[in-house]
Homo-oligomer: A and B are copies of this chain.
Amino acid sequence: MAGNSFGRIFKITTFGESHGKAVGVVLDGCPSMLELSEEDIQRELDRRRPGQSEITTPRNEKDEVVILSGVFEGKTTGTPICMLVYNQDYRSKDYSKVKDLFRPGHADFTYYQKYGIRDYRGGGRSSSRETIGRVCAGAVAKKILGKLGVSIYAYVKQVGNIVAENIDLNEIENNPVRCADKEAAKKMYDYILDVKKRGDSVGAIVEVVVKGVPVGIGEPVFDRLNAEIAKAIMSIPAVKGIEFGRGFQVATLHGSENNDEITRDGFVSNNAGGTLGGISTGEDLIFRFAVKPPSSILIPKRSINIYGAECEVVTEGRHDPCVAPRVVPIAEAMTAIVLVDLYLIDRARKNIF
């Protein structure tokens, strides 16, 4: 209800602003007796952190996690797990220029209108640093899924007009773009670098493939697996669309083409992308989402300030020219959180009678 929580039985509440003291999360509802260490979390945070390569922001933060509660002698106790990352390398001065401005494409305008006040430093709460908390909780969720035999693979599918076509899921972590196609990855890398040099930014499409999802996950009619995933992914900054299975292509398909037939050996195809009626089929869960080009660019754009005066905005500071490589672990985290939450809800009522 209050906006900063997600999930029901496996629930996260994130907090923190970009240039405040810390960002973090409280994960409530994690089952007890799961081995958990700060290393488990750090591994995922390192995939999200800035400064990983030439194509991510040079803001150099280690983003070291501290577990404040919920773990005792290396195991979860069933009590809330609070995980924190203290903010360090912030240069709030970079933002004094934009203090009273509404940067185009950013949430400055809407936060100011809604709350009458905003922490203008680094985007405040609307900064993607908020997603650190998600990645921390997602690391726990992924560990649980691992024990259930579920694996999540997210990778960059498209940047500009460059599309990954020869998909090899083992390739993802071998290149800084996190693209599953080695050749496409190189092209994307060069392209992003070029865009960066021009002081501009570019959008992308990310695909997520989840293997090993048990049959029966998802709670119709509103809390469908695909509906929950849609909300989770759309809540990530910069995401503008999501589609499952054949996605928007279905507009041109016939039922005779799109219906997935079933034989004794299982589903013959997976146009549905892994759900029917909002419940997992046991096939791979497959979806794609689009991220917009980052709004922070060096190319001047028109805007107004809080007093209504017109001005020109150039967003200096250190920014990502393309969010795709760093949004991959965030999407995995949100996907994992949805899956654990719906898995536990299904488990609650399963096979009682």
Q: Which of A49-57, A167-175, A177-185, A243-251 contacts B (4 or more CB under 8 A)?
A: A243-251
In chain A, positions 294-326 with a C-beta closer than 8 Å to chain B are 294-297, 299, 301-304, 308-310
Chain B residue nearest to A16 (CB atoms) is B69
Interface size, chain A (Cβ < 8 Å):
155
Q: Which B residues touch A284, using CB under 8 A?
A: none
Q: A227-B235, A276-B106 are in contact. Are A77 and B125 (CB under 8 A)?
A: yes
Please state if A3 and B221 are interface contacts (CB–CB under 8 Å): yes
Q: How far is the CA of A68 from the CA of B61 in the complex (A)?
A: 18
Q: A9-B1, A160-B252, A255-B297 are in contact. Are A302 and B268 (CB under 8 A)?
A: yes
List A residues 165-213 near B (Cβ within 8 Å).
195, 200-205
Asked if A75 is at the interface (CB within 8 A of a chain B CB), the reply is yes
List, in ascending order, chain B residues with CB within 8 A of A277's CB: 106-107, 110-111, 126, 237
Check A226 for interface membership: any CB of B closer than 8 A: yes
Assess whether B26 is in contact with A263, with CB atoms less than 8 Å apart.
Answer: no
- A219, CB-defined interface residue at 8 Å: yes
Q: A69-B17, A234-B230, A276-B105 are in contact. Are A126 and B220 (CB under 8 A)?
A: yes
Q: Is A155 an interface residue (CB 8 A)?
A: no
Q: Decide if B202 touches A253 in the complex (CB within 8 Å).
A: yes
Give the distance to chain B from A63, nearest Cβ to Cβ, in Å: 16
Within 8 A of B (CB), among A44-86: 66-70, 72, 75, 77-82, 84
Within residues 133 to 157 of chain A, which ones have a CB less than 8 A from any CB in chain B?
144, 147
User: Interface readout for A8-40 with B: 1 if CB under 8 Å, 0 if not?
Assistant: 111101111100111110101101111000000
The answer to whether A273 has its CB under 8 Å from any CB of chain B is yes
- 21 A-B contact pairs sorted by A residue (CB < 8 Å): A2-B10, A2-B11, A3-B345, A4-B221, A13-B26, A16-B82, A20-B68, A21-B67, A77-B115, A79-B125, A105-B258, A114-B346, A125-B220, A222-B231, A227-B235, A241-B243, A249-B290, A258-B295, A263-B302, A264-B310, A344-B348
11 more A-B contacts (CB under 8 A) besides A240-B244, A263-B310?
A3-B28, A24-B82, A32-B116, A72-B124, A113-B216, A195-B254, A224-B234, A228-B231, A241-B241, A241-B243, A251-B290
